[in-house]
Structure 1
Amino acid sequence: MFFHLWAISALCAVTLSAPFAPGSASRPEEMKVLSDYFHMLATKVQEGRNMAMAPICDISKATLPVASPTPLAGPAEGMTLKHVAIGRGIQNYTCSTTNATAAPKPIGAVATLYNASCVAATYPDLLNILPKLALEFSITPENQELGPSNLVVSGHHYFTNNTSPFFDLNTSGLELGVAPCQKNSSVPAPAGAVVGQNNQGLGAVAWLKLTTRSGATGGLQEVYRVNTAGGSPPKICEGMPATFEIQYSAEYWFFGSS
């Protein structure tokens, strides 16, 4: 694990010049996020040198983040944590072209999921910064790693209709199952959540608890979307096209039966 962290730091210059980096690397927000991330990474490497042994990737040690002041209901009794991923993608919306004061309506989302289970188990503070970091980088279908964290793809998220989220966690490296879902509950993103790649302060999408529908595999039963960054639309449709997308990132926590 520590060799992996060291390798990320050593390859920093290469990573930042890779295809997934945004066109401009000089925005103050971007530079601050990168600075915070690599400072934390360097701290972890230094701490590792003083440890008798490297930390063990035991996902049962990971703790689901809790929203404040209003938390989501916790996992049902008997649930165990199966997987943690960073989701990076877009929230989709539609707008009325005849009523400028109407509110945009959500019509699903599309995101690539990146395996963050070991980070959640060993470095929760590092995990906490990853949605913010991920939002500063453009994602293309060709990317198999989330730069600059180097997390590899562990699945995909999309909607089968406007209200039915779906998660596919079957990849060449992992076979964790699929999860057609329905919303169980939601709470607003906490104050201070990252507003995203815009200058309008649109804010972060809500934290969610989802439960699986018929057809779920791999024992998957509950999915949480937490530590969201970006994704919220304008309050009204004035000046917006009939359909549009907003960039977002979030942590996804998957729970199920043994």
Structure 2
Amino acid sequence: MRFTIATVATALIGAVAVLAAPTSKYTGCSLSNVKVQPEAFVDPTNSSNTLPYPAANEKLVKIVLGYGSQNYSCVNGVATPNGAVATLYDLSCAFAVSPEWADVVTRGAVQMDPTAQLAGLQMLKNMFNAQFIAGVHYFKGDFTTPAFEFTDKTKFIGGVAGKIPALPGSDAGKRPDNFGAVPSLKLAPKQGMGSSYSTIYRLHTAGGSAPPSKCSWQGQRQIPYAAQYWVYKST
């Protein structure tokens, strides 16, 4: 299925429309009844390899859509990761309707033209008087330290604590950069960096993988990607 801004906007509008009658709320919905599907933590090629599960004292406090690019430089013919940059969007109310709505939005986001994306978001903001942007995601200078800054002044600075391949059937990405979906990750906070949260999972990824063959480009290449980030806090 090819996703367009109209597809994504329709999905999100449908989700918030269902919520409108009882709640009139489009962002910041309760996640108390939302659970990760177990298969999201399991390596599809090796069932004995799993992402560590949330601890018993961890509470799901945010689900955001990250939409941006995974960045690579070409070093001796090998695509070398140079971190990522993404805008984060509140998916809580989409999940309050159903995970299927949220997955349509996530899979569709990677196919969007950035200009159309901004126009669509402005349309939604004007229609519902809601700020869907929840923060930004980027990497520190060493390209091994993912950072998240949220609009509510909270943050997370961490590192990879688990990795498995993307789920089967994940969106391979936007042509001509449809090289596959980046892996699912568990991120843990780095000591002394003042993180507000105990764990972030990158799940239900779309696009973002580097070309599988030898690279030859100059400078940095930006590969569009989207992913759900599930944010947990110790209680």
TM range (shorter): 0.7 to 0.9
Structure 1 residues 115 and 42 mapped into 2: Cα distance closer, same or farther (>3 Å)? closer
1:211 aligns with 2:188: yes
How big is the alpha-carbon RMSD for the aligned residues of Structure 1 and Structure 2? 3.1
CA distance in 1 between counterparts of 2:109 and 2:212 reads: 25
Query: Displacement of 1:162 after TM fit?
Result: 1.1
Contact residue 144 and residue 152 of structure 1 kept, 8 A: no
The secondary structure found in structure 2 opposite 1:163 is: coil
The percent of aligned pairs where both chains have the same amino acid is: 29
Unaligned runs of 5+ in 1: 1-27
**Map of 1:150-189 to 2, 5 A cutoff?**
152-160=132-140, 161-169=142-150, 171=151, 174-175=152-153, 177-189=154-166
| Larger gyration radius, structure 1 or structure 2 | 1
Measured after TM superposition, the shift of residue 252 of structure 1 is 0.6
Secondary structure of the 1:130 match is: helix
Q: Is the 8 A contact 1:40 1:126 kept in 2?
A: yes
| Residues 111-166 of structure 1, C-alpha deviations (whole Å, 9 max, x = no match) | 110111222233211011111121222336x9497477656111110001210000
Q: Tell me, what secondary structure is at the counterpart of 1:190?
A: coil
The answer to whether the 8 A contact 2:158-2:189 is kept is yes
- Letter of the 1:162 counterpart: F
Amino acid at match of 2:97: T
- Is 1:195 matched up with 2:172? yes
Q: TM-score, normalised to structure 2's length? A: 0.78
How far apart are residue 196 of structure 1 and its match?
1.0
So what's the TM-score if we normalise by structure 1?
A: 0.72
1:199 is displaced (CA, Å) by: 3.6
The answer (yes or no) to whether the contact 2:69–2:208 under 8 Å persists in 1 is yes
What's the CA shift for 1:77?
2.1
Any unmatched runs of 5+ in structure 2? 126-130
- Aligned: 1:92 with 2:71: yes
> Taking structure 1 as reference, are residues 236 and 130 closer, same or farther at Cα in structure 2, changes over 3 Å only?
same
Q: 2:31 aligns with which of 45, 56, 59?
A: 59
Return the match for 1:134 from 109, 115, 118: 109
Of the structure 1 ranges 85-94 and 233-242, higher mean CA displacement relative to structure 2 is found in 233-242
Relative distance call for 1:183 and 1:144 in structure 2 (3 A) is farther
1:117 aligns to 2:92 (yes or no): yes
Give, in whole Å, the separation in 2 of the partners of 1:139 and 1:133. Answer: 12
